[in-house]
Amino acid sequence: MAERQSRQVAENRRARFDYHLGQRYEAGLALTGTEVKSLRQGRAQLQEAYAILKDGEAFLLGAHIAPYDRATSFNHDPTRTRKLLLHRRELRDLAVAVGRQGMTLVPLRLYFTPSGLAKLELALGQGKKAYDKRRAIAERDAERSIRRALKRRR
């Protein structure tokens, strides 16, 4: 019997370039019905999104989930603040880590589990400096030129 896989809705590819990523967490999302339907259509963006901790709870800000096109007047606000569902122990660990200098909660990807639940993958990130970003670009370019040279030799 084939194993069911999770279905990715949105990915924040820029996060790997802008942050040194550390510990990863899986969080549930408190969503409205029209948000879930819009996510099932794959209409979400995480590029400007970030997470904060406030009063012992985690929230996702800046994520854009497009309004559901077949909804009535009871549609959702595309950029509303959404509550993240994490275990108390995870929230405590995140609060300690975010309290350190430069650590932030970066959303990496939004997906549906095989059982149909919407989940968000978060990571603790520390912002990269400009020279780190330049080094990453140089390494990527060198890798690409090596692959091209090897491809031409074959």
Residue 141 lies in a domain: no
The confidence score (pLDDT) of residue 146 equals: 92
140: in domain: no
Domain range for 60 is: 7-128
Give the tens place of pLDDT for each residue, 39-67: 888 889 999 899 999 998 999 999 998 88
- Report the number of distinct structural domains present in the chain: 1
Q: Is residue 55 part of a domain?
A: yes
* Residue 66, in any domain of the structure: yes
Decide if 135 is inside a domain: no
Whether the predicted pLDDT of 3 surpasses 70: no
Which residue in this structure is represented by tokens 């090897």?
150
Q: Tell me the two tokens of residue 51.
A: 């997470």
What is the value of pTM for the model shown? 0.80
**Residues written for the chain:** 154
Q: What value does the mean pLDDT take over residues 125-130?
A: 85
Instruction: Tell me the three-class secondary structure of 108-119, residue by residue.
Output: EEEEECCCCCEE
User: Does 149 map to a domain?
Assistant: no
More confidently predicted of 77 and 134: 134
CATH number at residue 104: 2.40.280.10
Tell me, yes or no, whether 38 lies in a domain: yes
**Residue 56 phi, psi (nearest 5):** 75, 15
